[in-house]
Amino acid sequence: MDTFPILDNYCNYMLAVLGRSELTVKEYRYDLIAFFRFYKIDHKLVPAGTEFDTIDISDIDEKLLNKITTDDLLVFLIWLSRERKLSNASRARRIATLKSFFKYVHSKKHIIDTNPAYDLETPKIGKRNPKYLTLEQSTELLEQAYNSPKESGERDYCIVTLFLNCGMRLSELRGIDIDDIHGDILTVVGKGNKERTIYLNQACLDAINDWMAKRATLKIKPAHQKALFISKRGTRISDDMIQIVIKDLMMQAGIDTKVYSVHKLRHTAATLMYKYGQVDIRNLQMILGHQSVSTTQIYTHVDDEQLRQAVKSNPLANFKPEEE
């Protein structure tokens, strides 16, 4: 996908300096490519009727960046709402992308004189309970992975087990090295390049041991010897491959992959720990690596059955006055 040097430098800055995940940077890159393609259409810099996905943006330079106004950004956001039918949440991400990029080229690199995204307002997003697998769906997914006839069965089961028991992010799991594990202690690198400790339960330890026995039989490329999870090519497994593995297992387990994804496994782990393990919210915050406890609070929702039982547990639930 053709980009331009300033955008490439921004993405490298996000990865190396801000410690953003590869997935986040990939999404930001996609958003910015869409914006600049739209800009070229809106300003008639490409022939009429040019297919959107074929528009070349490799010629974007400092001169053009200095011409971009707040109105250009607003027109793009209106187009996203009307033509692409994006929700407030999706538009909010695009706004975050634009604000981050233009802050970088204005304040960090001093490429532009004014920041056109400075006054952009993020749309209000209604709070929604996170989607998560039920306990039954979770055990079905684990059983599906455990009984898989695939050559990668032990690896895939270990991946699912760690996701569902530890609530890790995709980038955290992918980045695990063998020497990050010491007994039942696992050290992962999360958002902002911050390390945190995860304590492994017996299911995780058993899954890791089984996978390590299988891993020992594989031919691994020298540069990837430390990686815990290895692809069939002998390299560290990619984000895309992990997503494919989880999607395939979910489909086999009868789980709707249009609703559930890898990140929903993190939601699931958090919800199951809170709902069944009675984990204190502060401890849950530490487990998930949230900077603010307010982020963790989305997992403290209760479902309809809990509400129903709460009302039924009222000591007046079965009280009936006697007729006089």
DSSP letters, 247-274, are HHHHHHTT--TTT--HHHHHHHHHHHHH
| Whether the predicted pLDDT of 139 surpasses 90 | yes
Q: Which residues pair with 187 in a beta bridge?
A: 197
Residue 118 covered by a domain: no
69 and 142 in a single domain? The answer is: no
User: Which entry of 91, 169, 174, 267 is annotated as an active-site residue?
Assistant: 169
- Are 13 and 108 spatial neighbours (Cβ–Cβ below 8 Å)? yes
Q: Which residues pair with 195 in a beta bridge?
A: 189
User: Which entry of 94, 266, 267, 275 is annotated as an active-site residue?
Assistant: 266
| Whether the predicted pLDDT of 256 surpasses 50 | yes
User: Which entry of 132, 157, 260, 299 is annotated as an active-site residue?
Assistant: 299
pLDDT of amino acid 294: 61
Dist. CA 299–CA 269, nearest whole Å: 10
Residue 115 covered by a domain: no
Q: Which residues pair with 236 in a beta bridge?
A: 230
190 and 289 in a single domain? The answer is: yes
Q: Where are the alpha helices (DSSP H) in 129-261?
A: 135-146, 153-166, 170-174, 202-215, 239-252
Dist. CA 37–CA 174, nearest whole Å: 32
Residue 264's domain is classified under what CATH number? Answer: 1.10.443.10
Q: Which amino acid is at 113?
A: D
Strand order in the sheet with 195-199: 181-182, 185-189, 195-199
What average pLDDT score do residues 34-51 get?
Answer: 93
What average pLDDT score do residues 289-317 get?
Answer: 60
Residue 56 covered by a domain: yes
214 half-sphere exposure, CB direction, 13 A CA radius: 21
Residue 44 covered by a domain: yes
Give the position of tokens 């706004």: 95
Residue 26's domain is classified under what CATH number? Answer: 1.10.150
Dist. CA 294–CA 107, nearest whole Å: 29
Q: Where are the alpha helices (DSSP H) in 18-152?
A: 22-42, 62-65, 70-82, 88-103, 135-146
299 a catalytic residue: yes
Which residues have C-beta within 8 Å of that of residue 191, sequence separation ≥ 6? Answer: 19, 20, 21, 169, 289, 291
Q: Give Cα separations from 291 to 97, 161, 194, 272, 280 (angstroms).
A: 21, 25, 10, 21, 16
Total domains in the chain come to 2
Residue 255 sits in which domain range?
135-302
User: Which entry of 191, 196, 224, 247 is annotated as an active-site residue?
Assistant: 191
* Beta-sheet strands, E only, within 17-102: none
Confidence of residue 236 (pLDDT cuts 50, 70, 90): very high
Residue 246 covered by a domain: yes
41 and 186 in a single domain? The answer is: no
**Residue of 57, 65, 61 whose CA lies nearest to 3:** 57
User: Poorest-confidence range of 149-163, 231-245, 297-311?
Assistant: 297-311
266 a catalytic residue: yes
DSSP letters, 3-21, are --HHHHHHHHHHHHTS---
Which residues have C-beta within 8 Å of that of residue 250, sequence separation ≥ 6? Answer: 141, 256, 257, 260
17 and 142 in a single domain? The answer is: no
User: Which entry of 26, 131, 196, 263 is annotated as an active-site residue?
Assistant: 263
| Whether the predicted pLDDT of 288 surpasses 60 | yes
263 and 140 in a single domain? The answer is: yes
Higher-scoring residue by pLDDT: 89, 28: 28
pLDDT of amino acid 255: 93
Residue 47 covered by a domain: yes
224 a catalytic residue: no
Burial of 121 (0-12, 13-18, 19+ CB in 10 A): exposed
104 and 145 in a single domain? The answer is: no
**At which of 92, 108, 124 does a domain end?**
108
Dist. CA 82–CA 59, nearest whole Å: 28
- Supply the mean pLDDT for the chain: 86
140 and 57 in a single domain? The answer is: no
What average pLDDT score do residues 89-111 get?
Answer: 92
87 and 179 in a single domain? The answer is: no
User: Which entry of 20, 91, 236, 290 is annotated as an active-site residue?
Assistant: 290
How does pLDDT run across 216-230, given as a tens digit for each residue? Answer: 999 999 999 999 999
296 and 180 in a single domain? The answer is: yes
Give the position of tokens 């090519």: 233
